[in-house]
Structure 1
Amino acid sequence: MNQPPDMPATPASNLPRHAAAMPQPGAGPQHPQDDDFIDLSRLINAVLQHKWAILALAFAITLITGLWVNTQEPTYRASASVVIEAKQGNPLVPQDQQYAYSTYREYDYFQTQFEILKSRSLAERVARKLQLHKHAIFQPKDGEGDEPGFSFSLKSLLPAREQEPPVQLTPEQKEELEIQAAAAYITGGLSVQPVEYSHVAYLSFDSTDARLAATIVNTLAEEFIAQDLETRTSGSIQATDWMTTRLQELTSDLRESEQALQDFREQEGLVDVDGETSLGGSELYVLSQRLDEARRARIEAQTIMENVQNMRGASVDELMTIPAVLQHDVIRDIKREQASAERTVAELGKRYGPKHPKMIAAQSDLAAANDSLEREVRKVVSGISREYEVALRNEQQLQENWEARKSEMQNFNRVEFQLRELQREVNTNRELYDAFFSRIRALTETGGFESPHARLVDRALPPERPYKPNMKMSLVLAFVLGTMLGCGVAILLDMLDNTIKKPEDVGEKLHAPLLGAIPREKPAAHGYIQHIWEKPRGVFAESIRSIRTSLLLNQLDNPARVIVVTSTVPGEGKSTLALNLGVALGQMEQVLVVGGDLRQPGLASKCGLDPKRPGLSHFVSETASLEECIVHMEDMGVDVMTSGLIPPNPLEMLSSRKFAYALEELRQRYDRIVIDSAPMQPVSDALVLAALSDIVIYVVKADATPATQVQKGIDAILANNEPLAGVVLNQFDIKAVGKAHYQYSHYYTAEEPS
């Protein structure tokens, strides 16, 4: 092939580019993700996608469970109900306090009784009464331990060490160990279930022997009642003995206290202590009142005497100003006589003269009254000092009597205090004696009539059906758990799966535009899908045309003439997409499909051509003409240039100047050139072809290639400023990704009219 003379030798990087109109990466739909958001539709789709595996796992677990349950020995459960009465009164508590004592911590009392029902001592009583250690259930089965068998133990791998010889047990000791083992068997299979807000409890026992289970439950309830009666009877006897001993001590203490009281009375000479105490107190009170009165009288007399002494030589009228003198009885009588005489003189003076006899007699009476008043005033004044002296002596005498009586009362109070102390001791001993005497008398009379604190309401009957294993419940539970396990595994696998499953994942995980999606389709009879020229109305053909439409709409202003189709790894359908996209474009334009994968070419086989026929490698190396390398596919309506022979250095051939000139020559002959490139991950051939092309189409196989690997390939294209048209999601499952995509699948599945 000769270079055109007017074409300058330009490097491949300077060839025409049409990247301005390309969709920018990340232009696809972006959906912000919330860390706390749970995509229920994704979880449901993951479960539906693995529904058959989940059901298979559930059925397998159910089958294994059924086989295991079938090998288990049936267990029977016998139940009996008992009612526990309220706590009996304490014989040491008085009768008037019995109610408060019986209601104190009643809840703890019933809980204690329930624990006693599960105690080891009660189980041993049952085992001894039933001789349970001799029952067939504890006897070795026939032939067990007779035949030698292979046994493996980790201890056998350890070095032997000296051990003490086993202790030889007597028959009694062996029997005791067997009884303890039987008791442990009872406590292990027993369950006590109290009924809330009642005094009733259900006793249940599980055993492989139905009759034995009922017998153990009934015997346990009976022994529980009998043990309580024995305990309370022995407690009553112990209480009686203790109270008898205590009563004797109280009798002795009472006698001693009474004797001490009597000795003290005789020693102090007391006969009627209560009378003496009340009399002495009243006498002291009366003396105190009289002393106060005498003191007040003395103070008044002293005051009057001091006033009189201050008025020595005073006239009668002046002495009359003293209240004590004026209020004296004699003085008041004389004053009344004097006033009467003065009124008589005044009345007679109006009618008679001074010398009239009546007037003279009246004047004489008035003068006598004045003389009498003066004499009496003088007497009263002279008697005030004597009254003061009498009042002072009276006060002194009463003070002496009160002090003497007070000393006597203090001595008497000390005696009375000792007497009352002895009396209290006697009263206390007598009360204790009376209380103990009445209680021991009642306890002695009613000690032999102890009533049981519990009673058996419903006796246990041998169960007719086993309690476990419950085949139906076990199978249902196994199926449910198996289904839940399968769903959990399916959801976990879906969460760990980082592949691209649905078109929305392209924007969310790859941050790249979506050019189109090709649904998964069943292969035809020859094992391959039917291409667009074989089934123009099929799902695959419609998908290809949709990709063609998206490509053309994105290239309205600057049509891309050279299109490179690549993928991350081989087997993602890039060759099929390149060929079918070329056929779709060939329906409107002149298109050439080029096999640009010079390492593992696959275009020739898809077109039914000989892989060794002249192709791209021959055209670039100028070993064949362009007409020899191009084949027109009549049924497809496009020209095809296969890869040709695989060169020893494919990357150097694609990077050469000759390949760039060859591609430019093809540009002048065809409207569109679709190149099937090698994958991105193993080699860099696609990056070289992308530098010479107008756009790059990236093919991703759904549910196959991890998103991280695809992202690396896309980042490599974008890092070299190559034009990425978008991503094509190939072979995605419409039914698996959700109802939203599945409802559009009917447009793809319309059959071609006959």
Structure 2
Amino acid sequence: MAKPSILGEDATQEIIDLGALFARLWRGRFVLALAAMVGFGLGGVYAYLLAEPEYEATASVVLETRSEKVVDLDSVIGGLSKDLPALNTEVEVLRSRRLLGQVVDALALTEDAEFNPTLAEPGLKARLKSRVMSLISDAEPVVAPQQDAQREKAITRLQKRTSVANLPLSLVFQIKVASAEADRAVAIADTIAQTYVDQQISVKYEATEQAVAWLTDRVSDLKQSLKISEDRIKAFRARSDVIGPDSIDQLDRQLKALRGRITDQELAIEAARARLTAAREEARSAPPVTQPQPASTASLLRASTLRPVARAEAEVQLAETRLQALVSAAEELEETLARQNTELQEFQQLTREADASKLLYEYFLGRLKETSVQQGLQRPDSRILSNAVLPDGPARPQKARILGLSLVLGLFAGIGLLALSDLRQKGFRDVTALQDATGMTVFGQVPELPGATRSELLSRLASEPSSMAAEAIRNIRTSLLMSRLDDPPKVVMITSSVADEGKTILSLALAQNIAALGQKVLLIECDVKRPSFARVLRSERKEGLLSVVSGRTELQNAVLSDGETGLDILMCESANPASADMFSSRQFQRFIEAARESYDHILLDTPPVLLVPDARVISRVADAILVALRWQSTSRRKLSDGLAALETVNARAAGIVTTRVDPQALDYGAHLYELREPGPSSIVA
């Protein structure tokens, strides 16, 4: 069988009960008041005794939106931008270590104890440390910090005391400086503002000076480059006949015309060759001489036949000679044109380089003259809008705020103590949480009466029927008797998980209250190992439960009767441990059955469930089981284990009663005992 557990142990309520919260705060009002007073007192000690006063001075700087130019020259460094990143950058510039370092040097803050702690008188801790170190023989001497280290520490301290802010939707910067002395705060704020303005002029002057130096070097280099380019042009003109582009165009036209004549001559050659071919064909086709002719006549005939051929051959040769002359002339003209083109391109390249060098030289020379003029015309991008004013009083400590905050922190500390106290409580405090955790009805809560013993408590319950405790017992009685309307419980067992839960007083008070209704009630003490009824009731009767069950004594002879209410109490005499087996005997069951016939209600006060098994054995004869739980004391695990132990014998508690409840919890937290139907049980077998 699995061990039961209270599932609500780790659950958190989704809805905050404001009533319970205020009730808890009211119960802890003294703790809250004490915590608030302590916080208020500590705040007062700090504000009036410990805190050193600090004075705050404010200087204002505004960025210039107008740029006045004496001459219309472009500046080396332009004005500041007015967008958000630029404004944030200027805020950081105002807080930069470089600027604050200049302020430290200007005001000699390294010689001020506020910014150089080495100049201040050593405190108690430092003196004790020095004393201890002096007692050590091999201790090294303390080396004073170097000047640079002191300066850096002074800058760091000044940076912590300085705040710079850009006013929204403006170009104004507020410089706030805090110091132990009012006049020093004013001097530092004004010096920071003035240093910032001077630094802008210095930066521009340095930039202009660097630009002049750079431009001077560049002008010198460009002048030398221009001279070299011009010398190259002169040398080129000396070694070459440079013609212009027009001459090149004329040569090109001549070359084109010559190429046209070559083409015509080639056509003429082809025509001459065609005539030569035709003449040769005609000569071959002339008829032969058949009759003898005189020699002179034959020669004439041959000459007349061959003359056209020779003439055609001469024409071809002449045409080819002319073509060769034209081709030679064209080649010579092409060479001349190519050379002239190359020389012209080289000349043009040299000319362009010289022009470019001249253009750059003239530009940089003009820029050098402009920049030289600007050295005496630099203006800052901002100006001091207002100097710091000597404050009327210290800005810190703000005593009223410190006292108010200390009071609030004290209250929070008190609430934290209450919460910590509640977290350390291992038991149940709230009825709602108890019912959600167990799934059982809480029949009521019995308040603890301070200073009352067990016997005095019973007397008070009888003599003060309208008291809170009596009302709580009546509430439990009503809840118990009405838990089963059709079959009211007759035998009720009252038990607890562990000892000292208040179940004995609960049994006596509940039995007394039921008997006061005119009911015949028998209260039986079933704790054979630690009987306590005789001590509570101050009775010396020797016979008890063991004697009655064993048959040695009759019931009417062993009970202790209350004449006013008619309550009968059967105590248990001390016995050996083996006597506990009596509850498992048939005699005990017959005794309970007989008592049912004689009494209207029987209440069984049993020992704790987790200490001895008696309660689980006795639960077989009970109609209902009440479990006593000490308020805000019994742990959840013990309650879970006790209820689970009853579940192992198929006995289920009808309800739970919380005992020894703080009366203030009932006075100012009535919701704690407002009973409701429980949720589903979280006890599992």
Give, in whole Å, the separation in 2 of the partners of 1:723 and 1:248.
Answer: 111
Alignment of 1:398-547 (within 5 A): 402-491=330-419, 493-494=421-422, 497-511=425-439, 513-514=440-441, 516-518=443-445, 520=447, 528=457, 531=461, 534-535=464-465, 539-547=471-479
Counterpart secondary structure, 2:656: strand
Partner of 2:240: 268
Residue deviations 1:310-366, cap 9 Å, x none?
Answer: 9xx9xxxxxxxxxxxxxxxxxxxxxxxxxxxxxxxxxxxxxxxxxxxxxxxxxxxxx
CA contact (8 A) 1:515 1:725 kept: no
Partner of 1:685: 614
CA contact (8 A) 2:514 2:521 kept: yes
Partner of 2:560: 631
- Relative to structure 1, the CA distance from residue 410 to residue 96 in structure 2 (aligned partners, 3 Å threshold; closer, same or farther) is farther
In the TM superposition, what is the alpha-carbon distance from 1:207 to its structure 2 partner? 0.6
CA contact (8 A) 2:64 2:382 kept: yes
In the TM superposition, what is the alpha-carbon distance from 1:718 to its structure 2 partner? 1.2
Is 1:252 the counterpart of 2:191? The answer is no
Give, in whole Å, the separation in 2 of the partners of 1:103 and 1:137.
Answer: 35
In the TM superposition, what is the alpha-carbon distance from 1:236 to its structure 2 partner? 3.1
Is 1:78 the counterpart of 2:57? The answer is yes
Partner of 1:125: 102
In the TM superposition, what is the alpha-carbon distance from 1:240 to its structure 2 partner? 2.8
Partner of 1:45: 20
In the TM superposition, what is the alpha-carbon distance from 1:674 to its structure 2 partner? 0.8
Alignment of 1:44-443 (within 5 A): 45-46=20-21, 48-50=23-25, 51-52=28-29, 53-71=31-49, 72-85=51-64, 113-134=90-111, 151-152=128-129, 156=133, 161=138, 163=140, 182-195=154-167, 198-270=170-242, 273=243, 275=244, 277-281=245-249, 283-284=251-252, 287-288=255-256, 291=259, 402-443=330-371
Residue deviations 1:413-455, cap 9 Å, x none?
Answer: 2212322232222122212221222122222333222212331
Give, in whole Å, the separation in 1 of the partners of 2:567 and 2:55.
Answer: 82
In the TM superposition, what is the alpha-carbon distance from 1:469 to its structure 2 partner? 1.5
Structure 1 counterpart of 2:45, one-letter code: L
CA RMSD in angstroms, aligned pairs only: 5.1
Structure 2 counterpart of 1:640, one-letter code: I
Moved more, 593-602 or 726-735: 726-735
- Relative to structure 1, the CA distance from residue 300 to residue 49 in structure 2 (aligned partners, 3 Å threshold; closer, same or farther) is farther
Residue deviations 1:236-281, cap 9 Å, x none?
Answer: 33433443344333323322221221121121122xx4x3x24313
Residue deviations 1:606-646, cap 9 Å, x none?
Answer: 6x552546433443466644222223323324322233x43
Give, in whole Å, the separation in 1 of the partners of 2:563 and 2:317.
Answer: 170
- Relative to structure 1, the CA distance from residue 149 to residue 180 in structure 2 (aligned partners, 3 Å threshold; closer, same or farther) is closer
Give, in whole Å, the separation in 1 of the partners of 2:235 and 2:125.
Answer: 95
In the TM superposition, what is the alpha-carbon distance from 1:456 to its structure 2 partner? 1.0
In the TM superposition, what is the alpha-carbon distance from 1:666 to its structure 2 partner? 2.8
Q: TM-score, normalised by structure 2?
A: 0.75
Structure 1 counterpart of 2:99, one-letter code: L
Which has the greater radius of gyration?
1
Structure 1 counterpart of 2:252, one-letter code: L
In the TM superposition, what is the alpha-carbon distance from 1:675 to its structure 2 partner? 1.0
- Relative to structure 1, the CA distance from residue 560 to residue 38 in structure 2 (aligned partners, 3 Å threshold; closer, same or farther) is closer
Partner of 2:288: none
Alignment of 1:608-623 (within 5 A): 608=537, 610=539, 612=541, 614-620=543-549
Q: Unmatched 5+ residue regions in structure 2?
A: 282-312, 677-685
In the TM superposition, what is the alpha-carbon distance from 1:190 to its structure 2 partner? 1.8
- Relative to structure 1, the CA distance from residue 519 to residue 253 in structure 2 (aligned partners, 3 Å threshold; closer, same or farther) is same
CA contact (8 A) 1:562 1:673 kept: yes
Alignment of 1:567-716 (within 5 A): 567-583=496-512, 585-586=514-515, 587=517, 589-603=519-533, 608=537, 610=539, 612=541, 614-620=543-549, 624-643=553-572, 645-649=573-577, 652=580, 654-655=582-583, 657=585, 659-716=588-645
- Relative to structure 1, the CA distance from residue 697 to residue 302 in structure 2 (aligned partners, 3 Å threshold; closer, same or farther) is farther
Give, in whole Å, the separation in 2 of the partners of 1:294 and 1:223.
Answer: 89
In the TM superposition, what is the alpha-carbon distance from 1:407 to its structure 2 partner? 2.5
In the TM superposition, what is the alpha-carbon distance from 1:76 to its structure 2 partner? 1.3
Moved more, 734-743 or 707-716: 734-743
In the TM superposition, what is the alpha-carbon distance from 1:685 to its structure 2 partner? 3.1
CA contact (8 A) 2:55 2:181 kept: yes
CA contact (8 A) 1:595 1:616 kept: yes
Identical columns (%): 23
Q: How many residues align?
A: 628
- Relative to structure 1, the CA distance from residue 396 to residue 560 in structure 2 (aligned partners, 3 Å threshold; closer, same or farther) is farther
Give, in whole Å, the separation in 1 of the partners of 2:448 and 2:567.
Answer: 24
CA contact (8 A) 1:69 1:471 kept: yes
Partner of 1:381: none
- Relative to structure 1, the CA distance from residue 578 to residue 301 in structure 2 (aligned partners, 3 Å threshold; closer, same or farther) is farther
CA contact (8 A) 1:47 1:490 kept: no
Give, in whole Å, the separation in 2 of the partners of 1:142 and 1:416.
Answer: 83
Give, in whole Å, the separation in 2 of the partners of 1:161 and 1:68.
Answer: 40
- Relative to structure 1, the CA distance from residue 199 to residue 261 in structure 2 (aligned partners, 3 Å threshold; closer, same or farther) is farther
Counterpart secondary structure, 1:406: helix
Residue deviations 1:121-174, cap 9 Å, x none?
Answer: 4334334433445557579999957999972579759975464x67799xxx87
Give, in whole Å, the separation in 1 of the partners of 2:626 and 2:233.
Answer: 125
Give, in whole Å, the separation in 2 of the partners of 1:650 and 1:504.
Answer: 41
Q: Unmatched 5+ residue regions in structure 1?
A: 1-24, 314-384, 748-754
Residue deviations 1:519-558, cap 9 Å, x none?
Answer: 64767999738537852796325412322333432xx35x
Structure 1 counterpart of 2:52, one-letter code: E
- Relative to structure 1, the CA distance from residue 55 to residue 41 in structure 2 (aligned partners, 3 Å threshold; closer, same or farther) is farther
Give, in whole Å, the separation in 2 of the partners of 1:292 and 1:143.
Answer: 109
Partner of 1:720: 649
In the TM superposition, what is the alpha-carbon distance from 1:39 to its structure 2 partner? 2.5
Residue deviations 1:463-510, cap 9 Å, x none?
Answer: 223222112222332333343444455445545645233343344323
Structure 2 counterpart of 1:565, one-letter code: I
Give, in whole Å, the separation in 1 of the partners of 2:593 and 2:99.
Answer: 104
Give, in whole Å, the separation in 2 of the partners of 1:147 and 1:524.
Answer: 52
- Relative to structure 1, the CA distance from residue 694 to residue 546 in structure 2 (aligned partners, 3 Å threshold; closer, same or farther) is closer
In the TM superposition, what is the alpha-carbon distance from 1:206 to its structure 2 partner? 1.0
CA contact (8 A) 2:496 2:607 kept: yes
Counterpart secondary structure, 1:531: helix
- Relative to structure 1, the CA distance from residue 445 to residue 653 in structure 2 (aligned partners, 3 Å threshold; closer, same or farther) is closer
In the TM superposition, what is the alpha-carbon distance from 1:412 to its structure 2 partner? 1.8
Structure 1 counterpart of 2:61, one-letter code: V
CA contact (8 A) 2:596 2:602 kept: yes
In the TM superposition, what is the alpha-carbon distance from 1:732 to its structure 2 partner? 5.9
In the TM superposition, what is the alpha-carbon distance from 1:568 to its structure 2 partner? 2.0
